[in-house]
Amino acid sequence: MFSFLAPKPAIANSGGNSVDSPNNSLTGQTNTARVYKAKPDIYGQIRSFPDLIQESVFEYVHQTSTDGGLKYVTEWMCIGIGKYDYESVRYSESSLGSLAGAEFQFFQPGEVIPQIVEGYGFDDVDGQEVPGQNEASDFPVESATANTVVSGTYSGGQIAMKIIKQSDFDYFMGLVLPHAVTFTINVTYNTASGSVTTDATFSGTLISAVETNDGAVVNPVRWYTFTMNQLDGPQDIPANATINTTKFILNDNEALVVGPFFSPVESTQLWLHTQSSLGGKKETNWKVVIWKIDDDYNQVPGTQQTFTYRQTTPHQSTSEVFYRTEKLTPSGGFGKYAVSFQRTDNSSDASLLKVEEIHSINIRTNVVHPTDTLVRVKVRATENALGSRERKYNALVTRHTITYDLDTQTVDYTLRPSRSFADAVAHTWIIMGEQPVSSIDLYGLYSIAESLPDERLGYFDYTFDDENDSLGDRVQAICNAASVVAYWDDGVLTFTRDQKVDYPAAVFNRANMKTDEYKMTYEATLPGGYDGVQVSYVHPTTNNKTYINYRVLNGAIVEQEAESPNKLEIVGFRNEYQARERALRETKRLIYSRVKMNAKVFEDGIIQVGSVIQMPDIYDSNQQGGYVTGRAGNNFDTSEPITFTGSMYVLVTDSLGNPTLRYPATARSDTKYGFTAAIPDIQLNIWNGDTVQLPSRYLIASVEELDSQLWTVNSIKPNTDNTVSLTVAEYSDAIYQ
């Protein structure tokens, strides 16, 4: 029964095919918020540029009551899924510990995080200057006049003015309410000396602006109705005065008010960041008005609050900028808020007030991330930076994985730091993929890892960042770094490695081969038109992409860039030794594997892609093979006569189709249909036409002829007639020496 390779992974040889994790993009690496992307799934050891999980939050901290304040910025970032060791924490290339006021803390999965300050900046706040009372003339006041009024009413401390719709009043219809205004109306009232008609100007708060119509389908009459409360006007006008329909002038009274600005999200706190630029003996005074708003940005009644602030300077003649963070907890509770600023004193060149930023703040306590490793970084910002600075926080991290004990043949679920490809495969398949242990050949996988001549050949250092990468794609990408192929064998994920073999996995001869599709090709030039190989890897010190180049020149391998190289970008390479071994091996393959063969064989062997098999040229009469028809001690009977020339060696398959090693074979004196060889006492299949239909086979030839019959299986295609079509390439031990 044949086993077949899993589908070729899309990421196996495409080092630049990541979605956008800065861990894999080796140019311009920064910390980014990868919204709606997969969390980094890191294996091995990489330099991680963790993903931002929320906006930066800053505050100004004062050491004394008179200093200008220092700005501290806090970032929360996600290293990735799982647990990690960490070292060499940096900002760009500088140690984070060398930066003034910098600190960091890692939180492993399941660890309780005492507090996370979650902040959301107001999008429309960016250093607005708050004008002083003396700047009123510099800010034109919006005004609109109606000479015809439909009606004017006073009731319950409110005045409502209804007018025919006119475009001059559209500005006031678009205001965010409540809004301070002044307005002029014409009134008539009685006095002891008679009736008085006069214009009266009031200040108040515009609390409603409504458009209505008469309901007509064609050319309806449209009206604007403005309602004001908190009225303040002439004291001699009685409450029962008649509002005449001759005049209504409405003026904006908030020309010197900055805002209101609106919360982007609901929150329990507001952090207001201001800058006061003061000369000697100067100060700034201002008030902040906040109120809760509903989804339509209308004020929630009873939530308005006013806060007053004063900033002075200790200096008599020198200038300084004073930075402040005011932390407000609104009485209205959790919700969205409007915030406005107004200076209550005069401004000058030596007294400037700016609103730097506003944050909606939610404080989360005792937070647990059960599957992720997070890091909090707090740094002191530069006061007068000459340019914007990108976030380049990074650390050398090593993933903790499960492993497998070859002695006890059990999974060890204790998490330990590891760079082994075998551990990465096991963790990906069993923990991340939640597949049963019985569905993967862990013994074979770890046997391959154990057999590596140097553990660096089994390193896998990479970040999976694309949620569309299937489980099979990820496993094959991991395996590819160690030159391992994963394939399905009777429902079990099984593994084989491209390496030197001591004996073939299967033996074929003319008896179980067909002439259909048989073709052998030889490339007189180097295969594929390549004259060398280029392999890239991530340099462990510089974290830059580095290249290993080999070239075939006059039949010899030299270390230089080829004119037409086979460029291999293999994900997971982060050490020179691994990349150099792969590059040299692939260069040798150009020299020693030039012959290709297509053949159709019967399904009577257990092979897979990557297997090394013994297969003769069916048209070469010097290669002798057939069936074993009997055995007596070291004497074997064969189905075909054998001609001995020089030193001959033989391979025999057992009852399961597994070939033996090569053994010296000599001619028998009693018959040409046989040979003598000291082969161990293995179980043979002797054809009887009934219970045994597939007899044991033999292949006998010289060492040189046997070596020329070794092939590596490149592809397997099952056919409907119980045959399999193979594509094989020349195998040579020289590739691996």
Q: Which CATH number goes with the domain that contains 163?
A: 2.40.30
What's the structural domain count of the chain? 6
* pLDDT at residue 326, rounded to an integer: 96
Q: Which residue has the higher pLDDT, 524 or 185?
A: 185
Structure tokens at 505: 């996995």
Q: Which residue has the higher pLDDT, 125 or 594?
A: 125
CA pair distance 698, 391, nearest whole angstrom: 67
- My answer on whether 385 and 360 are in the same domain is no
- My answer on whether 373 and 346 are in the same domain is no
**Structural domain ending residue among the three candidates 593, 628, 647:** 593
- My answer on whether 160 and 216 are in the same domain is yes
- Choose among 77, 72, 71: nearest CA to 31: 77
CATH number at residue 310: 2.60.120
Residue range 71-104, pLDDT digits in tens: 999 999 999 999 999 999 988 888 888 787 889 9
Answer yes or no: is 240 within a domain: yes
pLDDT category of residue 536 using cuts at 50, 70 and 90: very high
CA pair distance 45, 492, nearest whole angstrom: 29
- My answer on whether 575 and 617 are in the same domain is no
- My answer on whether 319 and 191 are in the same domain is no
Percent helix, strand, coil in the chain, to 5, is 10, 45, 40
* pLDDT at residue 622, rounded to an integer: 55
Answer yes or no: is 134 within a domain: no
* pLDDT at residue 2, rounded to an integer: 31
**Structural domain ending residue among the three candidates 344, 366, 388:** 366
* pLDDT at residue 372, rounded to an integer: 94
Answer yes or no: is 692 within a domain: yes
Tell me the average pLDDT across 678-689: 88
Q: Does position 173 have pLDDT exceeding 70, yes or no?
A: yes
- My answer on whether 646 and 579 are in the same domain is no
pLDDT category of residue 37 using cuts at 50, 70 and 90: confident
Answer yes or no: is 652 within a domain: yes
Adjacent-strand bridge partners of 348: 351
- My answer on whether 260 and 349 are in the same domain is yes
CA 486 from chain centre, in angstroms, equals: 25
Look-up of token digits 């999974």:
411
CA pair distance 83, 111, nearest whole angstrom: 11
Domain that holds residue 202: 141-252
* Amino acid present at 90: R
Answer yes or no: is 647 within a domain: yes
Q: Does position 317 have pLDDT exceeding 80, yes or no?
A: yes
Residue range 206-258, pLDDT digits in tens: 999 999 999 898 999 999 999 999 888 888 888 889 999 999 999 887 778 89
* pLDDT at residue 164, rounded to an integer: 94
* pLDDT at residue 239, rounded to an integer: 87
Answer yes or no: is 135 within a domain: no
pLDDT category of residue 277 using cuts at 50, 70 and 90: very high
Residue range 629-660, pLDDT digits in tens: 999 999 999 988 898 888 889 989 888 878 88
Q: Does position 7 have pLDDT exceeding 50, yes or no?
A: no
Sign of CA dihedral 639, 640, 644, 648: negative
DSSP helix/strand/coil, 711 = strand
Q: Does position 17 have pLDDT exceeding 70, yes or no?
A: no
Q: Which residue has the higher pLDDT, 31 or 633?
A: 633
Which of the given ranges, 370-384, 399-413, 682-696, 716-730, has the highest pLDDT on average?
399-413
Q: Report the percentage of the chain scoring pLDDT > 90.
A: 55
Which of the given ranges, 338-347, 369-378, 710-719, has the highest pLDDT on average?
369-378
Q: Which residue has the higher pLDDT, 721 or 364?
A: 364
Which are the contacts of 103, defined by CB distance < 8 A and separation ≥ 6?
A: 377, 378, 379
- Residue 690: HSE in the Cβ half-sphere, 13 Å Cα cutoff: 1
- My answer on whether 532 and 600 are in the same domain is no
- My answer on whether 612 and 723 are in the same domain is yes
Q: Does position 359 have pLDDT exceeding 50, yes or no?
A: yes
CA pair distance 191, 611, nearest whole angstrom: 114
* pLDDT at residue 616, rounded to an integer: 78
Residue range 457-511, pLDDT digits in tens: 999 999 998 888 899 999 999 999 999 999 888 889 999 999 998 888 888 877 6
Sign of CA dihedral 490, 495, 497, 503: negative
Answer yes or no: is 306 within a domain: yes
Q: Does position 361 have pLDDT exceeding 80, yes or no?
A: yes
CA pair distance 1, 16, nearest whole angstrom: 38
Tell me the average pLDDT across 565-579: 91
Q: Which residue has the higher pLDDT, 21 or 216?
A: 216
Residue range 105-138, pLDDT digits in tens: 999 999 999 999 999 999 999 899 999 888 766 6
**Structural domain ending residue among the three candidates 252, 285, 310:** 252
- Within 603-722, strands assigned E span 612-614, 624-632, 635-638, 648-652, 663-667, 674-676, 697-701, 710-718
CA pair distance 246, 257, nearest whole angstrom: 31
- My answer on whether 207 and 148 are in the same domain is yes
Q: Report the percentage of the chain scoring pLDDT > 70.
A: 93
pLDDT category of residue 614 using cuts at 50, 70 and 90: confident
- My answer on whether 573 and 609 are in the same domain is no
* 674 DSSP 8-state letter: E
Answer yes or no: is 537 within a domain: yes
Q: Does position 296 have pLDDT exceeding 90, yes or no?
A: no
CA pair distance 429, 432, nearest whole angstrom: 6
Q: Does position 6 have pLDDT exceeding 50, yes or no?
A: no
447-464 in b/e burial notation, b at 16+ Cβ within 10 A?
ebbeebeeeebbbbbbbb
Tell me the average pLDDT across 662-678: 93
* pLDDT at residue 28, rounded to an integer: 61
- My answer on whether 609 and 719 are in the same domain is yes
